A and B are shown apart, each in its own frame.
Chain A
Amino acid sequence: MRRTLLLVAVILSALLLQTTIFADVLLLGAKPELMYLVTIAFAFLDGPTPGAIAGFAGGMAEDFLLDQPKGITALTLTLLGYAVGMLRQYVVSPSPVFPVFLVAGGTFAGVLFYGVVSFLLGQLDVSVLYLVRVAALSALYNAILTPLVFPILRRVIEGSRTSKVVRW
């Protein structure tokens, strides 16, 4: 219950920030993709299952604010959360910059996937170059935000765990 409330609070905060303050602060015309960042953080810190759940819930919440068919963002973020969670199990890196690269790579791949699915459904009419540019800029923006957002999400997620985690 506590974790569900936490997830709802994080998703709502990300949505509010994405549509207000970050809508005004654009990086070469692109916004950050905070929901992608949140999904990757959950997957990185908690594993594939929480990652997929966070991605699905966050994606569905964002979908209901869009004029496009609902479910495209949810599909994208579910797969992204699961993939990042699985990848995390096989990559052991003590480097503090690893999450930054993971967020950048994950966001880039996720936005491209979203663009391809939207295009196949006839919902997106932009050039490949434009899609790649937006994916790259969103990835860069999310990477810049990672050192600020990740520690907050880490503290929140780890604080909500009921049992102690044994690190090894």
Chain B
Amino acid sequence: MALPSRARSARLLVVTLVSVSLVTITIDYRQGDTGPLAAIGNTALTVISPLQEAVSKVTKPVGNFFSTLVRLPSIRNDNRELRARVDELESEIATSSHDSARLAELEALLGLRESLDDIPTTGALVIANGPSNFEWTITIDRGSSDGIALDMPVVAAAGLVGRVTRVTSASSVVQLIIDPDSFVAGRLDVSRTTGLVSGEGENDLRMSVVSAETEVVPGEQVVTAGYKIPGIAESVFPSGILIGSVSRVLSDEAELEKFITIRPAVDFSSLDAVLVVLSDGSG
């Protein structure tokens, strides 16, 4: 007699918990970032981020060790490719000094250098990654008390990282450009054609809305295309930040647009330090 009663109470509990979950999903789905659940989420992030920072400091060397072991075959390949690239670059140094001088002159003429120098940034350390296999985010150790706000662009030495999607006083969550919900206006460096760069998780990025007539070659760099339509829309990212290079181009005459994939310039698996651009991106 006791067993059916116990089974009944277990079923009742599960029904209650499932109902609470469904109500939570509904409330959060309808209210988005402005609801009370989002506030609880930010509080949870505020509480856990100092712990993540502490754990990250202790476990980072261990994580790096195992990560290196897992990536050993690809590291060998990278090493070989980098050695070849060093040889190639050494032979180019002689001619590049002339090109650099010319580029500097052009930049000065266009005022690009001045505008880039004017953009304030703040450095931040990566203290954690998102817990899910379907969401590509990182947590950084800078928050609203350091001047960070929603939608601020985040860059690394190699290129574009993503944008800030959640902020607490001492930490922020950054959505990486490889997240499937991330969309960045990109520009092909040679043809100057713009397109939409979207995340594909662990796979290369995808660039769409590029017409089939555009000449695109693998290896061509893709940078952010800052835009501003007064009163309607404005790019989150400043223009000219490296996103990556074209890894694959598929042309199909029947299609109206080219299928382009982009290898991100940033290695997201070993991201330790980033810069947050403290501007609205229009600079």
Contacts and interface: CB of A to CB of B under 8 A. Distances in A.
What 7 A-B pairs come out closest when comparing CB atoms?
A24-B63, A23-B129, A71-B24, A75-B21, A71-B25, A29-B202, A64-B44
Contacts of A130: 201
26 contacts: A15-B48, A16-B48, A19-B129, A19-B130, A20-B55, A20-B56, A23-B130, A24-B63, A26-B70, A29-B202, A48-B10, A52-B14, A53-B17, A59-B21, A65-B130, A66-B131, A66-B132, A66-B135, A68-B132, A69-B29, A70-B24, A70-B37, A71-B23, A74-B20, A78-B17, A126-B180
Contacts of A12: 48, 51
Main SS at interface, chain B:
helix
Interface stretch (A117-125, A144-152, A160-168): A117-125
Contacts of B25: 69-72, 75, 121
Given A53-B13, A66-B130, A68-B135, A21 B63 contact: yes
Given A56-B21, A62-B131, A71-B22, A20 B180 contact: no
Interface in B32-73: 37, 40-41, 44-45, 48, 51-52, 55-56, 59-60, 62-64, 66-67, 70
Nearest to A131: B134
Interface residue range, chain A: 35 or more
Given A17-B59, A63-B24, A75-B21, 12 more contacts: A19-B130, A26-B70, A31-B133, A52-B17, A60-B21, A65-B48, A66-B130, A66-B132, A67-B165, A69-B29, A78-B21, A134-B134
A25 B66 contact: yes
A74 to B, nearest CB: 4
Given A16-B48, A31-B133, A66-B135, A49 B24 contact: no
A62 B130 CA distance: 9
A166 B166 CA distance: 50
B147 to A, nearest CB: 22
Interface of B: 9-10, 13-14, 17-18, 20-25, 28-29, 37, 40-41, 44-45, 48, 51-52, 55-56, 59-60, 62-64, 66-67, 70, 127-135, 137, 139, 165-166, 173, 175, 180-181, 201-202, 269
Interface of A: 12, 15-27, 29-31, 33, 35, 47-49, 52-53, 56, 59-75, 78-79, 82, 85, 111, 114-115, 118, 121, 124-126, 130, 134, 138
Contact of B59 (A21, A31, A115, A126): A21
Nearest to A72: B25
B14 A21 contact: no
A152 to B, nearest CB: 17
Contacts of A71: 20-25, 28
Contact of B134 (A63, A65, A70, A118): A118
Contacts of A79: 14, 18
Contacts of A73: 132
